[in-house]
Structure 1
Amino acid sequence: MNVSHDDHHAPTVAPDRKAVLADALRRRILSMELAPGAGVDELALCEEFGLSRPPVRELLRQIAAEGYIELEANRAPRVAAMNHDSLHSFFLAAPLIYIATTQLAATHARAEEIDELKGIQALFRAAIEQQDVENRVLYNDAFHLQIGKMAHNDYLMPSLRRLLIDHTRLGKIFYRHPTTDDMQRDLELACVQHDQMIEAIEGRDPQTAGELVREHFELSRRRMAEYAAPQGMEVALAL
């Protein structure tokens, strides 16, 4: 890998400033503030967060490895795309990854990790009750990411992170107006399923945990499918 001249003389940067930038970029991508395929302005980030180019480039490489952005030679960084092929792969792979990580979490989770999961669930429930779309999808992402961490499997985590990026962005699109009664019922059911997953993980029951997360994903998959292909309006056939 070629290293530019300024990389050799990069100033020491307080880690909290880079962490703030990392959190901001991830949140902007997940919330669709930065749309799929949109360019990421490196210089603008330097100015906004008071960082020089080397640490910003390092951070972009880091979140590219996580799946948030795409880096190509001689092109500006771009937010990870969502297209037909990627979504097809998402719906095929998501149940496999979610079930595997949740079952492993039920086997390997530590008590303090389960307590953290319960805290995230409390925030998720509050977002549902307040009809807060953005925080609801972000805390759902945090919930399943925490389960992935509790699985303690370095091979599954990269796949889970990539799945959650698109799941969260899809949720932001499809659940933009969660005001209908049937949608609210689905959201409340999703919240109950989260509670049940926590109970299964805490009870060291991987079989039940896997079944619950399969049902949980099917709930969101069905809702997304209904949004993408809504039932047609009824039209009288008689003239």
Structure 2
Amino acid sequence: MKATSIVQPISNEVPQDRKAVLAQALRRRILSMELAPGAVVDELALCDEFGLSRPPVRELLRQIAAEGYIELEANRAPRVAAMNHESLHSFYLAAPLIYVATTQLAASYASAAEIEVLKGIQAQFRQAIEQRDVENRVLYNDAFHLEIGKMAHNDYLMPSLRRILIDHTRLGKIFYRHPTTDDMQRDLELACAQHEQIIEAIDRRDPETAGRVVRAHMELSRRRMAEYAAPQGLDVPIEM
């Protein structure tokens, strides 16, 4: 399954539909790193590609800037949200707090229908892992945690969760884009099993277990990313 299946192709939509398709496509391109952090977002190119005039495109750019996908500054072209040391430091501090809070609330307030939607996303995530499909893996992981955020039914937490997921998804694309090793595959299978444990905890209304599992899930991700950033040195013999 290709990641582009998440975004439907444009046909004969009315302008509002084309704007929605552009929003979906632009978010996906940023999350998948097709548009790199700091890259210029070409307004005119988007107008041509999606058949829209500049006002609705500019309105959309303001909307996704508010969500954290891009940065807007006066007298400067729009740019994809940057990733730097300061933002990553803040990410690692905030992510466990937000994930635990939203997951525990989901275990208290999720409806049966919402849990079924989450199970469907998890099935797609598992398939991506089994097929060693990096792009769909990171996108469905994003969708999984975003859906849990929706299930928490807390408007105050959602903006923070959305912003964290942007960088979490981009980090996942960076750190897992290389050929998957057996060790990495085992970690991914563990992450998949943790997703299912989270679903089970939410389904039985168990916030304590849900929070504990998602904290361990975040630690697995943090450890893998730290290993990538600071790999073990080469074993080079020293001749005396």
- The answer to whether residue 77 in structure 2 is matched with residue 76 in structure 1 is yes
Residue 7 of structure 1: aligned partner: none
* Aligned pairs for 1:169-208 within 5 A: 169-208=170-209
**How many corresponding residue pairs?**
227
Report Cα offsets for 1:98-132 as digits up to 9, x if no partner: 00000000011111111100000000000000000
Counterparts of 1:230 and 1:43, CA distance in 2: 42
Shift of 1:177: 2.1
What's the counterpart of residue 148 of structure 1? 149
Could you report, residue by residue, the CA deviation over 1:65-118 in whole angstroms, capped at 9, with x for unpaired residues? 111001111111110000000000000100000000000000111111111000
Cα distance in 2 for partners of 1:156, 1:105 equals: 12
Query: Segments of 4+ in structure 1 off by > 4 A?
Result: none
Question: In the aligned structure 2, how far is the partner of 1:236 from the partner of 1:72?
Answer: 52
Q: Secondary structure at the match of 1:167?
A: helix
CA distance in 2, matches of 1:189, 1:14: 43
Q: Secondary structure at the match of 2:238?
A: coil
Residue in 1 that maps onto 2:125 = 124
Q: In structure 1, what is the equivalent of residue 111 of structure 2?
A: 110
Take 2:111 and 2:68, find their aligned partners in 1: how far apart are those partners? 27
1:167 is the counterpart of 2:161: no
**Counterpart position of 1:3:** none
| Aligned match of 1:34 | 35
Contact map agreement 2:15 2:52 (CA 8 A) in 1: no
Q: Alpha-carbon deviation of 1:234?
A: 1.5
Structure 1 or 2, whichever has the larger Rg, is 1
Aligned Cα root-mean-square deviation (Å):
0.9
Distance 1:159 1:76 in 2: 25
Cα distance in structure 1, aligned partners of 2:146 and 2:73: 27
Percentage of identical aligned residues: 85
TM-score, scaled to structure 2:
0.93
Letter in 1 for 2:112: A
Runs (5+) with no aligned partner, structure 1: 1-12
Look up the equivalent residue of 2:41 and give its one-letter code: V
Q: What residue ranges of structure 2 are gaps of 5+ in the alignment?
A: 1-13
Distance in 1 between residues matched to 2:239 and 2:37, nearest whole Å? 45
Deviation at 1:238, TM superposition (A): 4.2
